[in-house]
């Protein structure tokens, strides 16, 4: 064995003694920027010894990988601080997440917000102490012994399942089981902030113990941290719950938790989206239907909802029953009614309304009815997770050989709609066979392949979401993010072989035999509630003209032009625009301010000059533009504003 290794760095090779540590071959990089290194493509500690020929690249603090290392090390620093402040607290896991990190602890009593400043102060102290961070690899038994002796039963559980080698990172008198890598010493960690506390189940399973989680974030510099905190604050300003109230779109009231009350202005957005989807439906060949809201539970038993979804359903006794009670037992479907949480089972009755031929297919039934789901109270979140919602829901009944085309067509719709509404960063996932599933593995593979092909036909990038399909079939999930970067699923396209079976749906094929259609569940906007929430946050409430609740506000300068202001508003209304005249006895600046806050896209100022020659002075939202024009020119301009589909 040679006593030297060849190191390739920045395209140049050189020979160093075997066992040289990575940091020494990166001597030219300023130490405060250097947090880790990439050796043969793998991120490792700077103290890693080189034992074979390798390519080496520095990882700087500001890089994506560098930031991850810093955050991971900061999570460790926090754990060290916590265990020094609260002896007896067990550690579990502390990963890096988008924009920060968290660490889950098992403390004697859960942490509260008040603990955070104390922990932060301790972290700063430990950071200043400049504890060197060192990695050691130990045999599994030794690791188990060590952590057992410390009473760290969660760590022992992890060690027993971890892959070799088992590595331990130490800083000062504290250590943690960890894969690494980490920064060389705690003094590298100086720009951090603990942000929140939360309960979290061990391994994410609600049957397990509830741990106490602390969230935090860390950056390469204090400036970057400040910048991030500022952005978070700005995002808060765009929260749809805040904007919805300010703009008078919708409210919530404890009298019906999780169910929005749309105010007149909110309904305009709601209906504009539905109108838009109806135009799309005409183009793409969907037929709208309206089915009942309440069904005998018998139907939900057939569809599988009674077994799989009744905990999330609002149930009602049969009003004519003597007991007036709801039987929620597995056999309870034999009596009573349920409020539909989904449209699908109802649509099977529309399908069955006639004898169907292979020539009829595909049949595409769309419905905007309100759906109710008894979501657990802790999950409710503004418009993003509600108990009452409308979806741009549709169920496509088609032949096996039509699946791919149908899915591809719906994906095209997804792209049309999200493109028209200016959404970027839409993510696609293919959710595959879950452990608990109906049908054979072969059927699933075929179904998944059909979905994947349809996605590829649209040249859309997608990820696999393993085992997250519905029990009856795989699905394509489409996600967008809210202002605070939380991802929400909006659109979905799901294959279903189960429900046609359950409701015994058939069509007559070309040779006169009965065959089973396939059902595709799909929604493009998803729930209108969630979509509106996301839309408000994406736009900050500044909606395109066709969606703006109030499109034009005519601001009069004084009483003398009151009549002209009203006349202008009336003309605009007759032309089909949502226009109002603000003839209140207020100064122009005041009216402009209010129109700006209400996010009215067109502000029209009329004074005596305008009234004299029947012109208007236009101001666009955020003071973008301001100029005078004849009234007819304004109408022309308004009519040229884009309307999708």
Partner RNA sequence: GCCGAUGUAGCUCAACGGUAGAGCACCUGAUUUGUAAUCAGGUGGUUGCGAGUUCGAUUCUCGCCAUCGGCUCCA
Which positions are catalytic?
Answer: 344, 373, 391, 393, 395, 475, 521
Q: How far does the chain reach from its first CA to its final CA, in angstroms?
A: 71
Q: Is 559 among the residues that bind RNA (CB under 7 A)? A: yes
Q: Least distance in Å: CB of 155 to RNA?
A: 19
Question: 16: burial class by Cβ within 10 Å (0-12, 13-18, 19+)?
Answer: middle
Q: Is 619 among the residues that bind RNA (CB under 7 A)? A: yes
Stretch that binds RNA, among 4-12, 62-70, 332-340, 375-383 (CB under 7 A): 375-383
Q: Is 252 among the residues that bind RNA (CB under 7 A)? A: yes
Is 79 in contact with 176 (CB distance < 8 Å)?
A: yes
Q: Least distance in Å: CB of 607 to RNA?
A: 3
Q: Least distance in Å: CB of 59 to RNA?
A: 27
User: CB within 8 A of 49, min separation 6: which ones?
Assistant: 19, 20, 21, 22
Q: Is 313 among the residues that bind RNA (CB under 7 A)? A: no
User: CB within 8 A of 229, min separation 6: which ones?
Assistant: 193
Q: Least distance in Å: CB of 62 to RNA?
A: 25
Nearer CB in complex with RNA: 153/609 = 609
Q: Least distance in Å: CB of 308 to RNA?
A: 8
Q: Is 380 among the residues that bind RNA (CB under 7 A)? A: yes
Around Cβ 313, how many Cβ atoms within 10 Å? 20
User: CB within 8 A of 54, min separation 6: which ones?
Assistant: 5, 7, 8, 39, 40
Q: Is 551 among the residues that bind RNA (CB under 7 A)? A: no
Residues 18-77 binding RNA (CB under 7 A) are none
**Residue 223 structure tokens:** 């400036």
Is 458 in contact with 502 (CB distance < 8 Å)?
A: no
Q: Is 212 among the residues that bind RNA (CB under 7 A)? A: yes
Nearer CB in complex with RNA: 136/632 = 632
Among 71, 76, 429, 530, binds RNA (CB under 7 A): 530
Q: Is 117 among the residues that bind RNA (CB under 7 A)? A: no
Stretch that binds RNA, among 128-136, 348-356, 443-451, 488-496 (CB under 7 A): 488-496
Q: Closest Cα to residue 250, out of 386, 418, 393?
A: 386
Is 263 in contact with 249 (CB distance < 8 Å)?
A: yes
Instruction: Give the CA distances from residue 565 to residues 354, 580, 630, in Å, rounded to whole numbers and listed in that order.
Output: 57, 9, 14
Q: Is 205 among the residues that bind RNA (CB under 7 A)? A: yes
Q: Is 467 among the residues that bind RNA (CB under 7 A)? A: no
Among 529, 537, 550, 582, binds RNA (CB under 7 A): 529
The strand pair at 54-60 and 4-9 is best described as parallel
Nearer CB in complex with RNA: 400/596 = 596
Q: Is 103 among the residues that bind RNA (CB under 7 A)? A: no
Residues 162-191 binding RNA (CB under 7 A) are none
Q: Closest Cα to residue 38, out of 76, 9, 62?
A: 9
3-class DSSP assignment, residue 380: coil
Nearer CB in complex with RNA: 69/483 = 483
Among 622, 630, 637, 639, binds RNA (CB under 7 A): 622
DSSP 493: E
3-class DSSP assignment, residue 271: helix
Among 41, 264, 589, 642, binds RNA (CB under 7 A): 589
Q: Least distance in Å: CB of 612 to RNA?
A: 9
DSSP 5: E
Among 133, 523, 552, 569, binds RNA (CB under 7 A): 523
Q: Least distance in Å: CB of 292 to RNA?
A: 20
Around Cβ 170, how many Cβ atoms within 10 Å? 15
3-class DSSP assignment, residue 363: strand
Among 593, 614, 637, 639, binds RNA (CB under 7 A): 593
Among 3, 112, 329, 640, binds RNA (CB under 7 A): 112
Residues 253-282 binding RNA (CB under 7 A) are 254, 257-258
Is 269 in contact with 547 (CB distance < 8 Å)?
A: yes
Q: Is 200 among the residues that bind RNA (CB under 7 A)? A: yes
Q: Is 527 among the residues that bind RNA (CB under 7 A)? A: yes
């Amino acid at each position: 064995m040679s006593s030297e290794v060849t190191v390739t760095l920045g395209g140049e090779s050189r020979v160093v003694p075997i066992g040289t540590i990575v940091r020494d071959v990166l001597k030219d990089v300023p130490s405060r920027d250097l947090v880790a290194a990439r050796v043969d493509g793998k991120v490792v500690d700077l103290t890693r010894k080189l034992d074979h020929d390798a390519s080496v690249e520095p990882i700087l603090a500001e890089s994506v990988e560098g930031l991850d290392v810093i955050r991971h090390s900061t999570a460790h620093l926090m754990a060290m601080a916590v265990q020094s402040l609260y002896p007896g607290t067990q550690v579990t896991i502390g990963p890096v997440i988008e924009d920060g990190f968290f660490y889950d602890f098992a403390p004697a009593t859960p942490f509260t917000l008040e603990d955070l400043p104390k922990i932060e102060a301790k972290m700063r102290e430990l950071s200043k102490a400049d504890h060197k961070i060192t990695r050691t690899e130990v045999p599994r038994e030794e690791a188990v012994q060590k952590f057992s002796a410390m009473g760290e039963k969660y760590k022992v559980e992890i060690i027993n399942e971890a892959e070799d080698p088992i590595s331990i990172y130490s800083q000062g008198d504290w250590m943690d089981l960890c894969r690494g890598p980490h920064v060389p010493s705690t003094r590298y960690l100086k720009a951090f902030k603990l942000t929140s506390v939360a309960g979290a189940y061990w391994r994410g399973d609600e049957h397990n113990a509830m741990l106490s989680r602390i969230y935090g974030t860390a950056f390469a510099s204090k400036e970057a941290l400040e910048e991030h905190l500022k952005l978070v604050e700005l995002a808060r300003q765009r929260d749809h719950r805040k904007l919805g109230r300010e703009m008078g779109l919708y409210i919530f009231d404890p009298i019906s938790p999780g169910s929005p009350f749309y105010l007149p202005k909110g309904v305009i957005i709601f209906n504009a989206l539905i109108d838009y989807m109806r135009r799309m439906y005409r183009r793409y060949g969907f037929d709208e239907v309206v089915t009942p809201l309440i069904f005998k539970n018998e139907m939900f038993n057939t569809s599988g909802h009674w077994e799989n979804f009744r905990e999330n359903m609002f149930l009602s006794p049969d009003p004519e029953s003597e007991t007036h009670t709801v039987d929620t037992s597995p056999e309870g479907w034999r009596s009573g009614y349920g409020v539909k949480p989904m449209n699908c089972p109802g649509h099977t009755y529309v399908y069955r309304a006639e004898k169907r031929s292979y020539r009829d297919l595909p049949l595409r039934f769309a419905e905007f009815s309100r759906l109710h789901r008894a979501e657990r109270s802790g999950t409710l979140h503004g418009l993003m997770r509600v108990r009452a919602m409308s979806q741009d829901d549709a169920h496509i009944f088609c032949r096996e050989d039509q699946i791919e085309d149908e899915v591809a067509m719906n994906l095209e719709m997804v792209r049309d709609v999200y493109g028209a509404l200016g959404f970027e960063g839409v993510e696609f996932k293919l959710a595959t066979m879950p452990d608990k599933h109906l049908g054979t593995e072969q059927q699933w593979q075929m179904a998944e392949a059909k979905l994947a092909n349809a996605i590829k036909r649209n040249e859309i990038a997608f990820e696999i979401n393993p085992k997250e399909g519905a029990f009856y079939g795989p699905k394509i999930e489409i996600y967008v993010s809210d202002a605070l970067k939380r991802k929400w699923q909006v659109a979905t396209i799901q294959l279903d072989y189960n429900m046609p079976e359950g409701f015994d749906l058939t069509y007559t094929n070309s040779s006169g035999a009965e065959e089973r259609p396939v059902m595709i569940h799909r929604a493009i906007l998803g729930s209108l509630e969630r979509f509106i929430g996301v839309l408000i946050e994406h736009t900050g409430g500044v909606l395109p003209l066709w969606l703006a609740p109030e499109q034009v506000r005519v601001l009069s300068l004084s009483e003398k032009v009151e009549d002209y202001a009203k006349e202008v508003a009336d003309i605009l209304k007759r032309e089909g625009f949502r226009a109002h005249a603000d003839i209140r006895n207020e100064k122009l600046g005041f009216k402009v301010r209010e129109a700006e806050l209400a996010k009215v896209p067109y502000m029209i100022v009329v004074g005596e000059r305008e009234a004299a020659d029947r012109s208007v002075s236009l101001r666009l939202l955020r003071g973008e533009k301001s100029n005078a024009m004849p009234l007819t020119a304004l109408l022309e301009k308004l009519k040229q504003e884009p309307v999708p589909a």
